[in-house]
Structure 1
Amino acid sequence: MIPTAYKDKTLFVTGSTGFLGKVVLEKLLFVCRDVRKIYLLVRPKADKTASERVAELFSSQCFDRLREEYNPDRDEDLNDAFWNTKVFPIQGDITEDKLGLTQEHYSQLAYEVDVVINIAASSDFKMRLDLSMKSNVIGTMNVFDFAKQCSHLAAFCQVSTCYVSANLPEGNIVEEVQPPPKGVDLEMLVESIIKLDQHQIVKKEREIIGNHPNTYMFTKNIAEQLLQLKRGDIPLTIVRPSVLGVAYRDPNPGWVDSITAGTAVYLLVGLGIIKEFNFNSSLIGDNVPVDYCSDLIIASTAEIMHQDKLKVYHCSISSRNAISWGTARDISLSVLSRNPYQRRISEPKYDMIRSPALFKILFLKREIPTYFYYYLSKMIGNPKMNKNASKMMKLLKTIKERQVAFKDTINKEWIFESYNSFQLNATLSQEDQLCFQLDTIGIDWKLYIKLFWYGMSKYILHEESELPITGRRNFLRVSDTPKSLFPDLMYVFKHGQDQHTLSHKAITKEVLASDQVQRVVRQLVADELTTSALSEAKLLKVQHEKGVAIMDRMATQLSFNKMRMLGYVIHKAFKNMYENVVVDEKDMEQLKLLNERDDCNVVYCPTHRSYVDFIILSYVLYAHEIKVPHICAGEDFLNIAIVHTFLRNSGAFFMRRTFRGDPLYKAIFTEYVQNLMRSGHSLEFFLEGTRARGGKMISPKFGLLNVLSNSYFDGKVQDLYFVPITLNYSRVLEGETFPLELLGESKVKESLGRIINAARYIYMNFGSIYVEVAKPVSFKEYAQEMIVKEGLQPTVNKSDIKLITSSLGWHLIRTMSEKVVVMPTAICASILLMHRKGINSKELTRQVDFLIKLLRKRHILLTAHSNNAETCVKKGTDHLNETVSRKKDIFEPRVTPKVDYQNILLLAYYRNNLVHIFINEALISCSLFGFGQEIAWNEGVTREHLWEKVQFISNLLRNEFVLTNNFKTFEDYNKVLDFMIKEKTISKLENENLVICSTGENHINFLNSLIWPFIDTYWITFSFFYSLFPSKFISEGEMMPQIQAFASNLYEEGFISFYESLSQEVIKNAVGTFQADRVIVKQKLEMTIDGVKTESVFTMGDEFNEEERMQEMFKVIQHFRKRTLGETLDIQMVAKMSRKGLEQAKI
C-alpha cells in the first residue's frame, strides 16, 4: 500500500508552489493521511515571505476537496485547523549554499527528513544558459547534497523531463540516464559555464548545448548525469514527464492554474489568436495529464524506498496510448464549436502546416497587416489606435515565441518507453491502482481534450463552464452525418436499424391459432353452449372475431419508414426543447452487444416520469443504431387520433389496465408477448405502471412482469435480460399538471387537440435529459440464485414464481433508484422549500453549495450543472421560474393563498427526486429532534431509546420510499448513525448519549425538511380516522376528497406547515399502511340502491376502535412532527374539525 509507505515519514518538497508541485502536495495530503510532516522549501518574493506564499498556495482551488473533507462548513481558519499540523514552510532558495538556511536549521531538517522530492526548476526555454544552469543543475545538486546529509533518508525523487533526450535521433528512448560525452568532466563543465560573462554566454550557448533544442533541456540532462554520478547508495528515482496538461481526475477534472508550455497553445487557439501552426499533424502530440505525473512521483518514490538503486520513469503517452496532433486538433475544434470561449477574439480555427516555407508565407498575411497598422498608428494614430496597435504587436510576438519554443519538439517524434511505470502499476494492490493513475492506457482522449478546454475556460479565463462527465456525451448536439441542406433529415436516414417483422395478418393468425388461446376459446364456447341458441360453429366464429378485434386494437404494426418520419419530428423537437440528451457511450456499446445475442431477449425497464418516457429511449437507441423495442403502452393513447398510428408504427402495442373478467384478452396478450420474444424482439415497459407524480420512485406493478416470468418457466424463452434505466429530467414536460392531479382533480384525457396545443412547448427550454443505464439482470441467473438460496421449486409451486417475480421487481426498482442523477431543479427546490419565506441569492448559493457537498460525499450522480453552486442556482431557478418569484435579491416560492398553492407541490415534486438519498438520516434526525430542545440538544438519548423511535417511524413510512439499504436491523441503524456522528450532524456526550451537534444545525434542518411533510400526511390521515370512532363508516370514493379537505383546513388554520402534505399520492400510501396495520378495515356492504350496488366502506379496526388506543397512537405520531400550532391540538379537537367535513358525506 502506497499510503503505508509514507506513514510516519517526514517529507522535504521543493517546487510546491508550481503547477505540478501543488498537485503532488494535494495528493500526498489527501491520500497519505498518516504522513508525519511535509516541509516546503519556498523562496520568498519581494512582497511575500515563504509563510505568506504557502498561505496563498492553500487558497488555490487545487485544495478544494481537502477543504471539503476537513472543514466542510468553513467555520474556522483551515490553515490553523489542518495545514499547520502537517505542513511547514521553510524560507530558502535551492540555488544558495545550504539552501539559504542556517547551519542549525539545516542540520535539524537533515535529522528529521526521510524523503526528498525535488520539483523546483526553471522551465523557461529562453533562459540564458548560466541562469538555467544555476537553477536546474546547481539547485538540484544543492537539494541532493541536503538529502545525503539526512541521517535516515528513505528515497530521493528528482523531477526531470522526457526531453532531456531531445538531442538524440527520433525513435525509441529508453528509461536510462544518458552517459556524459567522453572525456567531459561534468563538474568542470558546470563551473566553467557559471564563470562565463554574459557576452561569452550568448556567444557560446549554441556550441555548448549542442543538439539540445534549448537551455532548459540541456541543463536538466546535465542534472540527471550528475545525480547518477554522485548517487552512491542513495535510493534515487527520476520521473520524466513529457508536456504537462490539465488534470484528468485529481484534484478536480480539468484543474489547471497557470499557462504552461502545454497549455499556452491551447489557450491561444481557443481565443482565436493562433490560426496556423508549423506542425506535422501525423506526429504524436505528447501531452500527459498533470495528475498522472503526480501519481507516478508519489508511487515511484514509495517503491524505491530503502533500495540501493536508481530508476528512471517516463510519464508519457507516446508508447502506450498515443494520439496525433491532427486527431487532437479535430476533437478540439469539435469541442470549441459547441463550447466556444466567451472572451475569444475570433472563431477558433487552426491549420497545421507541415512545410516551414509555406507556413512562413501564410503567416505573412497576419504579420504584414499588423506591422502596417502599428506603423500607421505611430504616424497618425490617436491614443486608442496606438493602444490597439500595441496589443496586436504583443499578440504577434506571443504567437512567434510559441512557434519558436515548440518547433524543435513538436516536429520530431520520440517514443518514450514507459515499461517501468507499466511494471510498477502491475505490482500495486487493487486499492492503490484505483487511487493512483500510472498507466496512460486509461486516458480517454475525447474526454481529456474536453477537460482540457473546460479547464482553460474555468480556471484560466474564469468563465462559467460545464464539466464534461466521464464516459458521457450529449449526443443531441453531435452530428456524424455529412454537411447538407437538410441535416436533420439526413440524420434520421443515416441512423436506426430496420427489423424484420411478420405482417399484422400473419401475427394475428399465429396468435389466435396458438394452443393457449384455443384452449380458452374452447372453454368459453363450452360455457356458452349451455345457455346460447347459437351453434358451436357460430360461437367459435364469434370468439374468433373478438380475438381479431383484440389484436387489431392491441398489436403493433412496425413500419421503418413511418418510424423515420416520427424520428425526424422528435429529433427536430428535442433539439429545440432540450440543451442535452446525455448518455454513456459505453452503456450503448453494451446494449448493442446484448441485442446481438441469440440466446436471450432484452427487456428495457425505464422509470416513468413523463409522457416523453415513451419516446426518449427509442430515440436514444435509434440514434445508436440499436433496434428499438416494442413498447407496452396504455390504451389511453388509442384516443389520440393520428398520433396513436405513428406510435403503433414505431413499435408500440397497447395494453388494458386490467385483464379481470376477460380470459380471452389475457390469453391473447400473453401469447402475443411470447410471440414477440420468439421473434427476437426487445420489449419496453414501465415497471412503476404509472407516472410518478410525486417525484419519487413508486412500488413496482407486476402485471407484465408476471407474464414474462411465467414465459421463462414455461420454456417459451431461454433467458430474459432486464435493463433498468433511469430517465432524469431537469424539467418535466407536463410537470405543471401534476399538482392538480395530486390535489384530486381528474386526469385530463389525452387528445389530438391537446397534442396540437402542446406544440408551443417546442420553443421552451426544458434543460437536460440524462439516460442512466444500469447493469442488465439475467432472469435465468437471478431466478437460479433465489432457487438455491431460498430452496424454491417454481416448476412445482406457482407461488414460488410469484416470490421470484416480486423479488426481481423490487430489485429493478431499487437499481433504478440508485441511478438517479440529481438535477439543479431538485437541489434548488430542496433549499427553497427550507426557506419558504424567502432567501437571498448569496445565501441560496451558499446553501446549494452545502447540499452539493452532501451529495458528493454520498457519491451521488450529478449533472454538469449540478457540480457548481453558482451554475446550479442559475439553471435551477431558470427552470423553476414559474414557481419561484424574485423580489430584488430574494427568492421565494410563488404562492398566492388559495390560488397557486400548487407551486409548492411542484417544488416538492422536484425536491422528492433526492429524498431517498437522505431518508435514513432523516428518520434518525426527526426522531432525535422530536424529543424537544432540552433533550435533543443538551441531555441526549441513548442509542437504544432513539432506535425505538426510529423503528416506529421507519415502519410507518415503509410504503413511501424505495430504499436499497433500509433499517432492517439494529446494525443497519448503527451504520447510518455512526456516519452522522462522523459527519458531525450528531455527537456523543461523555455518557454516550446522543445529541444534535452544535455545528450540524443546518444539516439537521435540511434532513427534517425532507421528511416532515410526509409525517404530517400520516398524522392528518390518522387524525381523520378518529372521526370514524366509534364504529362509523365512510365510503371508499368519498374518503380521499374528505381527507384532503380536512388537510386543507388544517393548513389554512396554521396547524400544519406543509401544503405538499395534501398530496393524494402520499395520502393513498398512508391509507394503505393504516389498512395493512388494521387501524381501519375495508368492508363490503351488500346493499343495492336504485339497482346499483354500493361501493366498499371503511371503518375502524377492532384494536383501534377504542379511544385510549387512538390517543396513544396520535401522541406517538405527534412526536415526529415539526413544532407548530398543531402541538396545541389533542385528538378530540382534531376529530371535531374532521367531523365537520363529514357532516355532508353519505355515511
Structure 2
Amino acid sequence: MNMCSSSRCYQDFLAPRREELSNFMWASRQINPQIAYKQPTRPSPQYHKDQVLKSPKIQELLSELSQRQNVSKDVLEAQIKNILDEIGYNKKLKVIRWIGLVLVKICNKVCSGIYINEDAIVQLKSRMGNCPVIFVPSHRSYADFILMSLMCFTEDLAIPAIAAGMDFHGMWGMGTMLRDTGAFFMRRSYNDDSLYWTTFKQYIYQIVTKGELPVEFFVEGTRSRSNKSLAPKYGLILMILKAFFLSQVPDILFVPINISYDRILEEKLFAFELLGIPKPKETTSGFFKSLSIVKEKYGAIYFDIAKPISAKEFFGPVLDRSVHNLRPLHQQEITEEEKKLVPKLAHEIVYRQQKHCVITTFNLLAIVLHNNLIKGKDLLNVEEIIEEIVWLKGIVEALGGFVCIDNVQKNVLDALEVHQNIVTLTSDGKVTLVSNEIVLDKANITKLKGHELSEKTITLSVPFMMLQIYINPVLHYFVDVAVLVLILKNHERAALDELFGHYRFLRALLSQEFITFNAREKMEFDAALDRGINLKLIATDEELYKLGENKKLEETVSNCIDCFIFTYSVVCSVLLQNASRVIAETTILARVQAEVETMISEEKGFIHPYSLSLDTISNCLSILASQKVLTRSRNKNSIFYEIDAAQVLSVRSRLEQYGGPRQVLEGRVDSIQLHLKNKL
C-alpha cells in the first residue's frame, strides 16, 4: 500500500508480509545486505574486541596504570577483556531471522502499516560502501531500535551496531538477545573510571574505522517522554567524529531518521513520568507482560529518512586536520576547535529529524479537542471535528509540516478507535477525553521525583498529559509564529527591530523546550514573520507590525504555548521565594508542582495540567543555568542551583509582559473547571 502526496511518498513494508501464506520463507531468505563501509576482510565482533585490546592506545594505558597502581598488567588486561565483553555487540543471523519473524507477526497484529520513503532507501544504498554510515533516528519509544533493525532487515541493509543503555544489559535473556542482534552497551556514567572510559572510546573508534556495519545511536541520548525533540548530546557524536578528524576515514555519513507513531507504546507511562511518578525498572517479566499490547491497535508507524549529512561537506574548509600530523596517531585527541564544530552538526541532525516528522490525524485531533476543552466550549461531534482537522491540516502544511491524511473521514474514525483509551464519544456523539480514577500504590509514592500530588490532581492531569504528548510533535511548526503572536498580543504594535528583540528573548528562553540553534535564529524569525503575514496572523501598519484578522488561528497557536510561558513564570516565582540560598533541583521541582497544584485546586480559572510537567520545569532550570541566571553545581548524585535573585526577577518581569500566571488566570472564564468536571 502506498501513501503519497505532492511532497512525499511512502510504501508500507508490511504489505507484502500480509499477502504471504507464511512469513517463514521471507525470514529465512538468502540475504546479501548493503554494508556501510567495505573492508579488505570481513571483521567479526570478536575481531573488534581483539583489536581494541591490542591497540597502542590501550597498551600504553595498561603500562601507565600498572606502574601507577602497582598492579600486574595481566590483571588490568583481564579487566579490559571483561569491559569489552560487557560493551561489545554480537551478530547471530539465526537470532535475527527468528526475531524478524516474531516482529512481523506482532506488527501485523497491532499496526495498520509501517511506512517508509523507499526512494530515500534507494538513494542511501547508492551512497553506502565507501565510508562509515551512522543512522541517527529520533527516540520516542523503546520500539525505535527494534523497528529500525526490522526496517534494515526488510530493506536489505546491514543491521547496525546499536548503542544501547545498560538498563537492557541486565535484563535476563533480553540483554543477550539484543547483543546477538547488534546492540553494544554503554554505561550512563563512568565515575572517572579511566579504564572503562578509554576502552569504550577505543571500541567506538574501532567499529567506525574498521567496521563494515552502520552504527546507530540516538543523538538525544534518551527517549523523549514529551514526544518533542530533546537537545542533542555531544558525547557519542564526538567519539564517532574522532575517526574523521584524525583522517582515518575519508568521510562519515550521518543519516537523520524520523520515526513517527500514530500511538506510542509507552504513552501512559510517559504521562506518569512527566508528573514525577517514575517508570518501573526494566525486567524480562515486565517485557513479557508488555506483550499484552497485541490485544490493542497502534495504527501506523512512519519512517522518514532524511538526506544524509556528509561530515566532509558539512565541515568543509573550516576544518584543519593537519594539526593531527605532529604526534603519533594513538596520542591524538580531538582539539578544542574541533569540539566547537560539533554542536552545529548535532543540531542539524535534530533539525532534519523535525522537518521529516509525519503529522498524523490524531496529532491534529488532539489540538482540536485541546482547544475546545480549555476554552470551555461545547464539545464537537465527529463531523465538526473533521471540519476542524481539514482547516488545521492546511495551516500545518502552510507552516512547512507534512500531514499524512488521505481519507479524512476514515482517518478520523480510525484515530478514534486506535486512541479510545484517551478519547471517547459521549452518549450524544460528542468527542471528549477519557478520565479514569487513578489510585497510586505506596511503592510509587515513595519514589516520586517531585511533589506528592493528590490522586484527584493526578486523575485530572493524566488525560491532559496524554493528549499533550500528541500535540507536542506539531509545536515546532507553530512555535515561531506563536511567539510573534504572543508578543503582539501584549505590545499592540512593534517595529521590526523591537519585534526581533522580543522574539530573541522568548526563543532563547524556550530553546530547550522547542529546540533551536542560534545560527538559525534570524532565518527562523524571517520565515515566521512571512508565514504569519501570509496566514493573516500578523498585519503591517506602515512600518509597524500588529495582530492580523485570523483570530481563530491566533487563539489556536496561543493555546499551544500558553502553558509553557505560564510554567516558566511559576518557576521564576518559586525561585524568588528561595533566593537566599543554594537549593536542590528536586526541591525546586517539588515546590513548583505544589504551587501549580494549589492554583488548580483554587479553581479561580483554568490552569493547564501540563504545567505540572517535570520535563518543562527541568527545561526552564536548564536554560536559566545556561544563561547564568542560576549557577548549577553537582554534589554526589544531586544537582543544586545558586539563585541570582536580581536576574530571576528580571526574567520574571519580562515574562509578565507576555502574560504571567495572574494574567493567564484572569484571562480564563471561571466556568472552565466546572465544564471539565462535567465532561471528564
User: Do both share a fold (TM > 0.5)?
Assistant: yes
For each residue in 1:736-773, what CA deviation from the matched residue of structure 2 results, as whole angstroms up to 9, or x when unmatched? 10011111122221111111111110231111111001
Where do 1:949-1098 residues align within 5 Å?
949-963=502-516, 968-969=521-522, 973-989=525-541, 991-998=542-549, 1000-1029=550-579, 1031-1054=580-603, 1057-1082=607-632, 1095=638, 1097-1098=640-641
- The one of 127, 152, 173 equivalent to 1:621 is 152
How far apart, in 1, do the equivalents of 2:341 and 2:206 lie? 23
How far apart, in 1, do the equivalents of 2:494 and 2:9 lie? 47
How far apart, in 2, do the equivalents of 1:612 and 1:1113 lie? 40
How far apart, in 2, do the equivalents of 1:792 and 1:1014 lie? 47
The aligned counterpart of 1:891 is: 431
Q: CA deviation at 1:977?
A: 2.4
Instruction: Give the counterpart letter for 1:882 in structure 2.
Output: N
Do the aligned residues in 1 keep the contact of 2:110 with 2:296 (CA within 8 Å)?
A: yes
- The one of 613, 635, 652 equivalent to 1:1114 is 652
- The one of 874, 880, 901 equivalent to 2:413 is 874
The aligned counterpart of 1:524 is: 65
- The one of 207, 226, 229 equivalent to 1:694 is 226
How far apart, in 2, do the equivalents of 1:708 and 1:826 lie? 35
Q: Secondary structure at the match of 1:840?
A: coil
How far apart, in 1, do the equivalents of 2:240 and 2:118 lie? 29
- The one of 905, 916, 925 equivalent to 2:465 is 905
Where do 1:201-280 residues align within 5 Å?
none
Do the aligned residues in 2 keep the contact of 1:1013 with 1:1061 (CA within 8 Å)?
A: yes
Do the aligned residues in 1 keep the contact of 2:163 with 2:184 (CA within 8 Å)?
A: yes
The aligned counterpart of 1:54 is: none
Compared CA separation, residues 570 and 497, structure 1 to 2 (3 A):
farther
How far apart, in 1, do the equivalents of 2:547 and 2:292 lie? 50
How far apart, in 2, do the equivalents of 1:1124 and 1:886 lie? 34
How far apart, in 1, do the equivalents of 2:190 and 2:46 lie? 24
For each residue in 1:772-801, what CA deviation from the matched residue of structure 2 results, as whole angstroms up to 9, or x when unmatched? 01111111222224338xx99687870111
How far apart, in 2, do the equivalents of 1:468 and 1:579 lie? 23
How far apart, in 1, do the equivalents of 2:47 and 2:195 lie? 19
How far apart, in 1, do the equivalents of 2:600 and 2:317 lie? 50
Compared CA separation, residues 952 and 672, structure 1 to 2 (3 A):
closer
Gaps of 5+ in 1: 1-334, 336-446, 452-466, 530-535, 1086-1092, 1130-1147
Answering whether residue 483 of structure 2 is matched by residue 923 of structure 1, we say: yes
Answering whether residue 23 of structure 2 is matched by residue 473 of structure 1, we say: no
Do the aligned residues in 1 keep the contact of 2:246 with 2:324 (CA within 8 Å)?
A: no
Answering whether residue 339 of structure 2 is matched by residue 802 of structure 1, we say: yes
Do the aligned residues in 1 keep the contact of 2:425 with 2:432 (CA within 8 Å)?
A: yes
Instruction: Give the counterpart letter for 1:922 in structure 2.
Output: A
How far apart, in 2, do the equivalents of 1:1027 and 1:850 lie? 44
Do the aligned residues in 2 keep the contact of 1:827 with 1:876 (CA within 8 Å)?
A: no
Q: TM-score when scaled to structure 1?
A: 0.52
The aligned counterpart of 2:201 is: 670
- The one of 724, 727, 730 equivalent to 2:256 is 724
Do the aligned residues in 2 keep the contact of 1:495 with 1:622 (CA within 8 Å)?
A: no
Q: Secondary structure at the match of 2:260?
A: strand
Q: CA deviation at 1:833?
A: 1.1
How far apart, in 2, do the equivalents of 1:470 and 1:1073 lie? 36
Q: CA deviation at 1:992?
A: 4.9
The aligned counterpart of 2:180 is: 649
The aligned counterpart of 2:28 is: 493
Q: CA deviation at 1:479?
A: 4.3
For each residue in 1:691-748, what CA deviation from the matched residue of structure 2 results, as whole angstroms up to 9, or x when unmatched? 0111111111111111111122223323211111111111111111001111112222
The aligned counterpart of 2:441 is: none
Q: Secondary structure at the match of 2:431?
A: strand
Do the aligned residues in 1 keep the contact of 2:399 with 2:531 (CA within 8 Å)?
A: no
Answering whether residue 82 of structure 2 is matched by residue 549 of structure 1, we say: yes
Do the aligned residues in 2 keep the contact of 1:830 with 1:911 (CA within 8 Å)?
A: yes
How far apart, in 1, do the equivalents of 2:18 and 2:52 lie? 41
Compared CA separation, residues 1067 and 1035, structure 1 to 2 (3 A):
same
How far apart, in 1, do the equivalents of 2:408 and 2:322 lie? 51
Do the aligned residues in 1 keep the contact of 2:319 with 2:338 (CA within 8 Å)?
A: no
Do the aligned residues in 1 keep the contact of 2:599 with 2:607 (CA within 8 Å)?
A: no
Do the aligned residues in 2 keep the contact of 1:557 with 1:649 (CA within 8 Å)?
A: yes
Instruction: Give the counterpart letter for 1:1060 in structure 2.
Output: Y
Instruction: Give the counterpart letter for 2:353 in structure 1.
Output: M
Compared CA separation, residues 1096 and 756, structure 1 to 2 (3 A):
closer
Instruction: Give the counterpart letter for 1:883 in structure 2.
Output: I
The aligned counterpart of 1:914 is: 474
Compared CA separation, residues 1044 and 795, structure 1 to 2 (3 A):
farther
For each residue in 1:1040-1091, what CA deviation from the matched residue of structure 2 results, as whole angstroms up to 9, or x when unmatched? 2222222222232246621112111111110012222333323578xxxxxx
Where do 1:387-786 residues align within 5 Å?
471-479=9-17, 484=21, 487-494=22-29, 496-497=31-32, 505-529=46-70, 536=71, 539-595=72-128, 597=129, 599-677=130-208, 678-786=210-318
Q: CA deviation at 1:1099?
A: 3.1
Instruction: Give the counterpart letter for 2:127 in structure 1.
Output: L
Do the aligned residues in 2 keep the contact of 1:883 with 1:904 (CA within 8 Å)?
A: no
Q: CA deviation at 1:477?
A: 1.1
Compared CA separation, residues 879 and 777, structure 1 to 2 (3 A):
same
Q: CA deviation at 1:491?
A: 1.4
Q: CA deviation at 1:872?
A: 3.8
Compared CA separation, residues 786 and 1066, structure 1 to 2 (3 A):
farther
Instruction: Give the counterpart letter for 2:656 in structure 1.
Output: Q
The aligned counterpart of 2:330 is: none
How far apart, in 2, do the equivalents of 1:1123 and 1:675 lie? 53
Gaps of 5+ in 2: 36-40, 327-333, 438-455, 668-680
For each residue in 1:886-941, what CA deviation from the matched residue of structure 2 results, as whole angstroms up to 9, or x when unmatched? 2223222334642241111111111000100111100001111234xxxx4xxx44
How far apart, in 1, do the equivalents of 2:60 and 2:597 lie? 54
- The one of 635, 644, 654 equivalent to 1:1101 is 644
Do the aligned residues in 2 keep the contact of 1:1078 with 1:1103 (CA within 8 Å)?
A: no
Do the aligned residues in 2 keep the contact of 1:919 with 1:1011 (CA within 8 Å)?
A: yes
How far apart, in 1, do the equivalents of 2:310 and 2:634 lie? 43
Do the aligned residues in 1 keep the contact of 2:268 with 2:466 (CA within 8 Å)?
A: yes
Compared CA separation, residues 1057 and 873, structure 1 to 2 (3 A):
farther
Compared CA separation, residues 710 and 967, structure 1 to 2 (3 A):
closer
Q: CA deviation at 1:1002?
A: 0.6
Q: CA deviation at 1:946?
A: 3.7
Do the aligned residues in 2 keep the contact of 1:725 with 1:773 (CA within 8 Å)?
A: yes
Do the aligned residues in 1 keep the contact of 2:399 with 2:478 (CA within 8 Å)?
A: no
**Higher RCO, Cα 8 Å, sep 6+:** 2
Q: CA deviation at 1:543?
A: 0.8
How far apart, in 2, do the equivalents of 1:973 and 1:648 lie? 45
How far apart, in 2, do the equivalents of 1:794 and 1:1066 lie? 42
Do the aligned residues in 1 keep the contact of 2:52 with 2:206 (CA within 8 Å)?
A: yes
Do the aligned residues in 1 keep the contact of 2:52 with 2:202 (CA within 8 Å)?
A: yes
How far apart, in 1, do the equivalents of 2:55 and 2:274 lie? 43
Q: CA deviation at 1:943?
A: 4.1
Q: Secondary structure at the match of 1:845?
A: helix
